[in-house]
Amino acid sequence: MVISRLKRRMDKAKLIKAVASSSAIEIGMSTCAIETKLKSKVGKFKHLTLAT
């Protein structure tokens, strides 16, 4: 059970990094800035989660 939680966190981190790098290429912002926005808890749809 602990391993699955750790894996889920790692998968989420990889997903955030992939989305940030893809978005950075498209819009010309830094990957770090986009990752920070994605990780922040402030946002319009932060109460929603990804389907598993």
27-39 pLDDT, tens digit per residue, is 999 999 999 988 8
In the chain, how many domains are there?
Answer: 1
Whether residue 25 lies inside any domain: the answer is yes
Whether residue 45 lies inside any domain: the answer is no
Whether residue 43 lies inside any domain: the answer is no
CB–CB of 46/31 below 8 Å?
A: no
Whether residue 40 lies inside any domain: the answer is no
The predicted structure's pLDDT at residue 6: 67
Provide the residue range defining the domain that includes 29.
2-34
- State CA 28 to chain mean position distance: 18
Q: Which candidate, 5, 6, 44, 40, places its Cα nearest to that of 20?
A: 40
4-28 pLDDT, tens digit per residue, is 766 677 788 899 999 999 999 999 9
CB–CB of 17/35 below 8 Å?
A: yes
> Cβ of 19: how many Cβ atoms within 10 Å?
14
Q: How confident is the model at residue 2 (pLDDT cuts 50, 70, 90)?
A: low
